[in-house]
Amino acid sequence: MQSRNFRLQRVGDINWLEKNYKFQKISFSLDELIVVDATRGTKDIEKFSAVVSRLVGEVFIPVAAGGGIRKIEDAELLFNSGADKVILNSPLYTNPTLATEIINRYGSQSLVASVDYKVIAGTPVVFINDGAEPLSISMADYLLYLEQLGVGEIVFNSVDKDGTGFGYDIENIEKYAKSVNMPFIIMGGAGNERHLKEGLSIDGVSAVATANLFNFIGNGLPNARNYMLEHGSNLARWE
Amino acid sequence: MKLVIVDYGMGNVKSVMSAVRYLGYDDVSLSNEQSVLKQADKLILPGVGNYARAMSRINELDLTKTLRELVLQDKKPILGVCLGMQLMGESSTEGGFNKGLGLIDGVVEAFTVKELKVPHVGYNQVKPCPESRLYSNIHPEPDYYFTHSFRMLSDANIGKTTCLYGEEFVASFEVDNIAGVQFHPELSQTNGLHLIKNFIELF
């Protein structure tokens, strides 16, 4: 799926991905993998789990999976399918008990909080339900709420920058990355290796994420990783 | 080469199994039956979760004595991973004081340094001990993926490789046929695959 400002364009399913991108090879340029079911409306967690299971078979990095987790059994299914962490978004707000249950059973490091936001009149507004529903709580208060809830890490995702390839939302990242005492991963906007390097150099940012297909074409990812290492990014060196 | 992953019902063994298979060792199985463990050429003791719960599972399955005999008397090579590595020590204070398998001289306690984010999660570099077999031909100070709240300390001569997270702790140990790693080699890319291969081939 190629997404732009959360409007999706279908590019292919897992078979397409395997055929065109040799996912296992791509994974050797990554530190972690995030797999999200971005289907609008009702999501089929069993179908998604089967995809995760197939995808992680020969991927030897931590895998976070989410999208459509509504009860503890959904999370359990994903863990049993090979996910090392699960990602929650809407239920963090609508059903925090689910987050607590996951934390109690699998530990806080196993829960990733996905935070989608759009900038409206100069202020970042948190959105849930696939970017459709705004929350009235301020970004600062929401991040604090997530920290108190006990989630293990934050994925900070700019809907405005999503899929544009214009670079990360530096202004808001600089403002919020240091506000929580847990890994802070930024997402939305990376179009090239300079964007990735620039994002990772921001104080408080632990990791940079990209879903933009253009970063996956050809040797895009290995080249980006080399570029970042050469320019002083603190990344693990693989053999 | 017959590899058996000790199954006591805790943790994600799927990625350990696929890592071993990926390296070309197809004869890998998951078992807690004494006869199967005895026939193994090498054992892997995985685990994620709570120490107290893990030891009670192992004791329910009557595996403590079996594992001690296989490892200490028969000298069967074993690799402990994450909680599995900790279980190989003398004891842990996670979930109250509990005795471990006692295969290696080390004790497990919670991180004590304040101002640290616990659990310790993510990639971190380790300093391999000189003449290590586990890290043979792996580049110096490699990164591995950690996720844990308790860590092992030891003053004994157990072929320690250390990691620094506020304080130095045991990232791995290797003595004769016994090896253990606090991190997850199965989630540590090529560095981890190479280490698993070293265990299979050099122990």
Q: Which residue, B187, B117, B129, is CA-closest to B157? A: B129
User: What average pLDDT does this structure show over A124-134?
Assistant: 96
- Say yes or no: B198 contacts chain A, CB-CB below 8 A: no
Which of A58, A84, A183 minimises the CB distance to B18?
A: A58
- Say yes or no: A84 contacts chain B, CB-CB below 8 A: yes
Between CA B54 and CA A206, with CA A146 as vertex, the angle to 5 degrees is: 80
User: What average pLDDT does this structure show over A37-46?
Assistant: 87
Q: What is the pLDDT along chain B (203 residues), one digit of tens a residue?
A: 999 999 998 777 888 998 999 999 999 999 999 999 999 999 999 988 889 989 999 999 999 999 999 999 999 999 999 999 999 999 999 989 999 999 999 999 999 887 777 888 889 999 999 899 999 999 999 999 999 989 999 999 999 999 999 999 999 999 999 999 999 999 999 999 999 999 999 99
pLDDT band at A6 (very low <50, low <70, confident <90, very high): confident
pLDDT value for B38:
97
pLDDT one-digit tens code per residue, B110-124 = 998 877 778 888 899
DSSP-assigned letters across all residues of B33-51: -HHHHHH-SEEEE---S-H
- Given the candidates 3.40.50.300, 3.20.20.105, 3.40.50.2000, 3.40.50.880, the CATH classification of the domain at B3-202 is 3.40.50.880
Q: Has residue A167 been placed in a domain? A: yes
Q: Which CA distances in Å does A69 have to A65, A82, A88? A: 10, 15, 7
Å from B63 to nearest chain A CA?
A: 24
Q: Has residue A235 been placed in a domain? A: no
pLDDT band at A172 (very low <50, low <70, confident <90, very high): very high
pLDDT value for A1:
65
A125 neighbors A119 (Cβ within 8 angstroms)? yes
Interface contact A239-B194, CB threshold 8 A: yes
- Say yes or no: A234 contacts chain B, CB-CB below 8 A: no
Which of A28, A60, A237 minimises the CB distance to B187?
A: A60
B163 phi and psi angles, rounded to 5 deg = -135, 145
pLDDT value for A20:
63
Interface contact B189-A61, CB threshold 8 A: yes
Å from B72 to nearest chain A CA?
A: 31
pLDDT value for B113:
81
- B31: exposed, middle or buried (C-beta count within 10 Å: 0-12, 13-18, 19+)? middle
Q: Which residues in A lie closer than 8 A to residue B121 (C-beta atoms)?
A: 109, 152-153, 183
pLDDT value for A11:
66
User: What average pLDDT does this structure show over A204-212?
Assistant: 90
Q: Has residue A36 been placed in a domain? A: yes
pLDDT value for A22:
62
- Say yes or no: B139 contacts chain A, CB-CB below 8 A: yes
- Give the DSSP letter of residue B129: P
B57 phi and psi angles, rounded to 5 deg = -60, -45
- Say yes or no: A107 contacts chain B, CB-CB below 8 A: yes
Q: Which residues in A lie closer than 8 A to residue B184 (C-beta atoms)?
A: 62
- Give the DSSP letter of residue A210: -
Q: Has residue A202 been placed in a domain? A: yes
Which of B15, B123, B147 minimises the CB distance to A60?
A: B15
Separation between Cα atoms, residue A94 and residue A214, nearest integer Å: 34
Interface contact A61-B145, CB threshold 8 A: yes
Number of structural domains found in chain A: 1
Q: Could you tell me how many helices (H) and strands (E) chain B has, helices first? A: 6, 13
Q: Which residue has the higher pLDDT, A234 or B62?
A: B62
Tokens of B113: 């340094």
Q: Is the pLDDT score of A18 beyond 90?
A: no
Q: Has residue A239 been placed in a domain? A: no
User: What average pLDDT does this structure show over A49-76?
Assistant: 91
Q: Is the pLDDT score of A151 beyond 80?
A: yes
**Which residues of B are the active-site residues?**
82, 184, 186
Domain chopping of chain B, boundaries: 3-202
- Say yes or no: B136 contacts chain A, CB-CB below 8 A: no
pLDDT value for A97:
98
**Which domain does A58 fall in, by range?**
2-230
Q: Has residue A197 been placed in a domain? A: yes
Q: Is the pLDDT score of A197 beyond 70?
A: yes
Clarify whether A116 is annotated catalytic: yes
Mean pLDDT, chain A, whole residue set? 89
Å from A167 to nearest chain B CA?
A: 25
Q: Is the pLDDT score of A154 beyond 80?
A: yes
pLDDT band at A21 (very low <50, low <70, confident <90, very high): low
Q: Has residue A164 been placed in a domain? A: yes
Separation between Cα atoms, residue B185 and residue B203, nearest integer Å: 16
pLDDT value for B9:
84
User: What average pLDDT does this structure show over A201-218?
Assistant: 83
Tokens of B37: 């463990």
- Say yes or no: B118 contacts chain A, CB-CB below 8 A: no
Q: Has residue A236 been placed in a domain? A: no
User: What residues does B79 pair with on adjacent strands?
Assistant: B44, B179
Count Cα neighbours of A9 within 13 Å in the Cβ-side half-sphere. 10
Residue keyed to tokens 């069993």:
A46
Which of B15, B121, B190 minimises the CB distance to A109?
A: B121
CATH code for position A154: 3.20.20.70
Q: Which residues in A lie closer than 8 A to residue B16 (C-beta atoms)?
A: none
Across the A:B interface, residue pairs with CB atoms under 8 Å apart total: 63
Tokens of A57: 């078979």
Percent of the residues in chain A that have a pLDDT greater than 70, as a whole number: 91
pLDDT band at A12 (very low <50, low <70, confident <90, very high): low
**Which of A29, A30, A54, A238 is the mutation pick for testing B, counting most B CBs within 10 A?**
A238
Interface contact B119-A82, CB threshold 8 A: no
